[in-house]
Amino acid sequence: MMGTAAQILSLLVRQGATVSVAESLTGGLIGATLTGPMGASAAFRGGVVAYATELKSSLLDVPCDLLDKEGAVHPDVAEAMAGGVRNLTKSDYGLAVTGVAGPDTQDGKPVGTVHIALWGPDGRVWHRDVRLNGDRDAIRKTTCMEALDLLRGVLEANLGEHSG
């Protein structure tokens, strides 16, 4: 994952862009991965670990009515988290994950249900919804990889669209 993080940071720097993360089930794993390579401070702004549902609302501006209706594990919650962390940190990109790492279901959603959202410049949003297998540790690590892969793919597609 460290190689992917270095690639992402290089792409962000080349585009003059920054990223922040909002994490639930990964508990800071994405932020830790992105800050592993030297020079991460040139593109990584920060992160929020909103593990408790009420923190998704109070820290990241996820609408309470959405959380009440759908629970914390929903694509729209991931999108709101991504937008919330982007606004909070004044980043170009906000990357968010929410899901069920196990061992128990959450809000009626089975273990392995994961929603990833990336909110970028000009209000563009990308989603990745996955159903993962494995134990808690494997689901958390795979979620991190999937989220970083989404971010890298968007940055590669956008290369050259942003001026420094």
Mean pLDDT of the chain: 95
pTM, to two decimals:
0.95
Q: pLDDT tier at 112 (50, 70, 90 boundaries)?
A: very high
- pLDDT digits over 2-26, tens only? 799 999 999 999 999 999 999 999 9
Q: Are 138 and 103 in contact (CB under 8 A)?
A: no
Overall fold of domain 2-10+17-155: Maf protein (3.90.950)
Domain ranges of the chain: 2-10+17-155
pLDDT at 160 over 70: no
pLDDT at 1 over 80: no
Task: Please state the rounded mean pLDDT for residues 38-55.
Answer: 97
Q: What's the confidence (pLDDT) of residue 164?
A: 40
Burial class (CB in 10 A: 0-12, 13-18, 19+), 80: buried
Burial class (CB in 10 A: 0-12, 13-18, 19+), 123: exposed
Q: pLDDT tier at 162 (50, 70, 90 boundaries)?
A: very low
Task: Please state the rounded mean pLDDT for residues 93-120.
Answer: 97
- pLDDT digits over 58-78, tens only? 999 999 999 999 999 999 999
3-class DSSP assignment, residue 91: coil
